[in-house]
Amino acid sequence: MKILITGGAGFIGSNLASHFASKGDEIIAYDSLLREGTKYNLDWLKRLYGGKIKFVQGDIRDFDLLKQYVKDVDAIVHTAGQVAVTSSIKNPREDFEINALGTLNVLEAVRTANKDAAVIFFSTNKVYGNNVNKIPLVERKTRYEFADPKYKLGIPEDFPTDASEHTPYGVSKYVADLYVRDYATVYGLSTITFRCSCMYGIRQFGNEDQGWVAHFIISSIFDKPLTIYGDGKQVRDILFAEDVNKLVELALTNIGKVKGEVFNIGGGSQNTISLLELISMLERKLNKTISYSFSDWRPADQKVYISDIRKAEKLLGWKPLVKPEEGVERLIKWVYENKELFV
């Protein structure tokens, strides 16, 4: 296959590029290189795969350039985006232009230049907005849990999305999410939408605004300031990058039977962890006491978000294989092996 990956030098994009290049697929990595770590990831891909991966430095807001590279590919995996809630609040216009308009550019490029190409879009659990916080919770010592047994296995794809307090980031991604699904219905494009929870893994340059698992690990190893926003009992289902690679592979293999579908994607109910629980895990693995402080809750932070992944299991035959203990250990090892990138 020939695959265009937007955000191809980012965390998820570079892992996907490596995965498919290693299988013999031809990859175009399209990236603006604006995000921290992308130049390192690109150099790593070039060293490993050379000409198997073609790099295009471009912005998804550049429709003409994007259209040029969409023309003769079999699939577009759209991972590029503005990824931080905090940044969206500071600059909502830029957030909209990258996430909403950028995604529309991808869809229009496909519609006008290569209608048969598959399109996989990485959306977010933030499309469900503050509705998730309306589910009653039980507070435990180190975490919150859903009190309603209906959500024992997580949030399903038909959960309401029409709440306020999405934050500008949630709104821009929701707009993009709607467009991707509508282009399947109205124009017959072969699209798939993944509403993702917390993804983590090697080649992730997490920071305080985004990529919290990597941020906690990097901060803990190098004794950098670590702030918990809220009380630290908020829970996410975490998904290792290797499992994301397999998910996309299965989606492209089964595109004919799942086009137009939306999937909630994360580690699922078997791979949940709270912020406080991750710190405890890191203290054990690093054999040190980790210092951290607390600050106010961030806008529209979901106290518990767990993806109900049964639809992906049923239609794609996919389920996560990397457990949090293993994934965190692998990310710790990668950070130690690349110390020069963080000090």
Neighbouring-strand partners of residue 269: none
Taking alpha carbons only, the member of 198, 199, 204 closest to residue 334 is: 204
Neighbouring-strand partners of residue 272: 237
Tokens of 273: 């962890």
Q: Is 299 helix (H, G, I), strand (E, B) or coil?
A: coil
What does each C-alpha distance from 270 to 36, 137, 152, 292, 342 come to in angstroms?
31, 18, 11, 27, 31
Going 218 to 224 to 228 to 232, the CA torsion angle's sign is positive
Q: Is 311 helix (H, G, I), strand (E, B) or coil?
A: helix
Tokens of 82: 């503005």
Which DSSP category does 7 fall into?
T
Distance CA 17, CA 22 (A): 8
Residue type, 199: M
Residue 128 a catalytic site member: no
Q: Residues 30, 169, 179, 200: which is the catalytic one?
A: 169
How far apart, in Å, do the first and last CA atoms of the chain sit?
A: 39
The residues annotated as belonging to the active site are: 169
